[in-house]
Amino acid sequence: MTRLILLRTILGTILGAACLFAQNAAPAGNAQNGRKLFENYGCYQCHGREAQGGIGTGPRLGPKPLPYAAIQKYIRQPTGQMPPYTAKVVNDKDLADIYAFLQSVATPPPVKNIPLLNN
């Protein structure tokens, strides 16, 4: 009986993790094309050219963006000032490319490693 409960617990954990991974897995995209689309759709106007965001504009999107599902949902149905980008405006392939660009954004160096900022 104890083994059966243990086996059910293990299987439940594995299935739960698989479902969570499937929800957060991003489709494959092209980061170079995503950068171009990020500019063509005007995303940079609020989020900056490197998706860094800014005070009074859009939030930081990269590096280390939110999971794909969260970004896709917000882009399609935003709750803030951002206009909606439906699938008719930004198709799923383009959105995957933009997400690939956001994933490719490099983490900036620490301030202590920028000589000009340490004088």
Fold of 2-107: Cytochrome Bc1 Complex; Chain D, domain 2 (1.10.760)
pLDDT by 10-residue block (mean), the chain, 119 residues: 55 49 73 98 95 90 94 94 94 97 93 88
For the chain, the domains span 2-107
Query: What is the reported pLDDT for 22?
Result: 45
CB 31 within 8 A of CB 104: yes
Nearest residue to 101 via CA among 55, 63, 59: 63
Nearest residue to 95 via CA among 45, 23, 21, 38: 38
d(CA 98, CA 33): 7
